[in-house]
Structure 1
């Protein structure tokens, strides 16, 4: 099987992605296209000649589509290294293998269904396509799909695969087209994805010798009797009589989009004996096989499942610094869609992980959803040709007692302190969120963490982004903060966890405790005790205490 040719036929009529063409110079475009072409060549060589796949089939398909999109933007001036893999195969197909249009969304599916009658649906098995040619009831030849017109002769391997009948109870000539798949009993696509199921079959069929254990792992799904009866019902009855019962059981009549959607969801979320990457929609009747060509036909189309992994381009890497000083790299992406979610950014969790992955703008990364909700970066698929240097924050400069003012380098941590102070963990200020603090910061109203306590309604009303009513509401919320309990204020300022220690209502009493005194309370170890002492002794914290004392907040 020629992996790249099969995919190019499949995507021959795919619409260009909505993403704009990259803003590259000619030299940059040449470098990026060459980099991707060589990456694809490496994967193809591993796939065809070594029987392994360094990336999942799903990511490979997206990378190949990405190359086609870029070639639409920048007509290639770099030779495509795919030619190094050799010709598609010496064996001509008795009937051409067609590709499939890919319908991108429900609207496209509805349009396709609307103009057709006698509709059928079947799982789109994620394997490798094959022609089985029978004459006088005996298997004459098995041919890989190749370029749809010619393929590799797989007859020797087919003789060893029990799923491929060597004899059929008919004396005429039969030409069957189908999919060889890797057996996965009870496989649920929504949970397990396809992984490298397709690659395992392709690798096995490319070997000169096929061992018995591997041959037993290969199944067959016949999706068309190319020279069979003109009607689908008759073809399915004939296939069942020939022993291909699953072809009949998994090819179902449908009437509309609702039924197509139902079976697509059913096969996606319920067990099948193979990996599948979508459904195939078919008209029951189609032209005579003698008129078929190696290109997507009008009588069949694919509606793929949602991606389990999306290929995304890194646009930028930002470093967020939390209230405690923890540095979290956040990767900004060219938006991608997973499970109806549009994903623009993903957290890497830690500075150490970013350093290990060495992600830069222009890199292509794999994105999935953890628990179907949280975007997750699974790894780098390939690196951009140009890799700009990135300066990351110094971890030694940030800690739980840094950045009490928005001084240079402190914007992120200071904003995190404000969000904590006004949020549900802190003062629970009604109507105050990150957007409120951002407007006040942009207007220069927050030179320190507590400057908002002194803001009057008139001054707020003159601040961009606040009308008279919102200014009044905000000032009332700020004024109400003065009445919050002492312990709530301590949490809002970022007091380290104090275990079972009583906090009382007196700042001076707490500030007088040494590490030994704090360590004597349950739930506080030596390290936490030292953090508590450092908190009360820090000059910036003491300055905040004085501000609160002057504002009349109880306990300070």
Structure 2
């Protein structure tokens, strides 16, 4: 056998042994034999660099250094899941699903919800091409070199797979590996890691992939997304992924009704404590992909999936003191400082008390023994006080009357839950918080500038608002603590590059109260530029799709403020984008202008996304549900019965794929 064939044979053997050991948990050779074969392959590859393959088993040991992780946009957005905490909430979700789909037989795929770091991995021609962290769901960090060191993730697939697709999974750290890592740290006098989830997430951003390779990370896959997939349901997809070589948890189950879903939840609520990984709930998905397409997505979550969270673990501890934090909008948040206690895998020292009403409702007092749990397994909160352990001389908590930062008297609106510091332009945490929001990833995404640096610039009298960032020079930055020449250059360059950020994100960055990402997009699309928006009346704003009175009033108040107008004028003079840049499609027409379409069913020639894009490119609007405002229903095979019934009832024309092609090819 020649060297090239020997190298290829060894690679295939070692890939199979890796799969047997890390995925199937049934090794067929000893570690010693595996290491000998790996060493033989390494020597052959060194002698014959012309046969190098980035996906060779020898590359799993890592060694590449990544100084800056490149930001990559996901081909398919990574949505978050809606949470539920009771059977009643799951039944309500099922009713919402059936309302859209009509009287159809539903099956559900039940999967355990593992607590790790989400990852999206792209495969091309069966080879691992790229791995990207979840990030904000729209874009994440390219961590391919680090992901390749995780032996449960196949570098080369087997079987009959599509040319290209993405697989979604959770990078986790098993309890045994986590405890071993902590024991090694304790032995050398270092501080142990706080919990497996954060350690797994942090591992993905280590610069040296050889260090990642030393960590016992695992990867559990739960979803495949792409075009022309060879299966039609979630459960079938899991089975197929397992055959291709992915590690898919065997605990997943197909449920034929909600009663079987409840049985799955009840079983794993007890048995989860015997699992080798952290798990905090169950994910329930409508099994049929066709049904999933019919249901679609909200702005944040798929309508066809929901997470059921297991009841949170509770502990009791002592409340040592209460401190008060000031947010960027001036909202005051009381924080409980606790005697440190172990809770759900982490050491908890602080918990949110939300507002004055919550403190009064629970009658929380300093020195009390309190019960703490993690709300949704994320943020610790106090749920009750152990009155039997209360000291006789305890005093009722008096909520502060003045801002802890600037001593301004606090205000509280009639319908507001929080107290606010009204010193909008003079209270340091508010000023710093607004600038930190302005530079954040979803807003201006200014590279080289982080939250701590913002505070440093403010405390050294270099910035008082976010417009000041555009006048800061390298010479001003260099004398500051921890600021080297390269850091100063990157900061100034990052600020300059932010002038290319589109209007919708600039609008979000301004920090107008109640104007989040989605609202900013709606306003930018409707008004096109800041000048038109700033002159809009209350009634004009309310008439914009999905803009309510509370948001409209907040926008009016923002632009009525002279200081805000002055800052916007300065940003405008620096070249920040305050106008929507229309992307011209050379093939676009206005033939569908004023027409609203609902797309439903399975199509032969085009994907749903292609059809929706064609509607918008030709001036039309895509609706998510059928109403009296719908002009046409573009229907494919197996159109949802509920939509069909509603279209017929409202006498809305139902057109085919061919009808639509003729429609957009017509000349006026």
Could you tell me the TM-score, scaled by structure 2's length?
Answer: 0.35
Which fold has the larger relative contact order, with Cα–Cα distance below 8 Å and residues 6 or more apart in sequence?
Answer: 1
User: Larger C-alpha radius of gyration, 1 or 2?
Assistant: 1
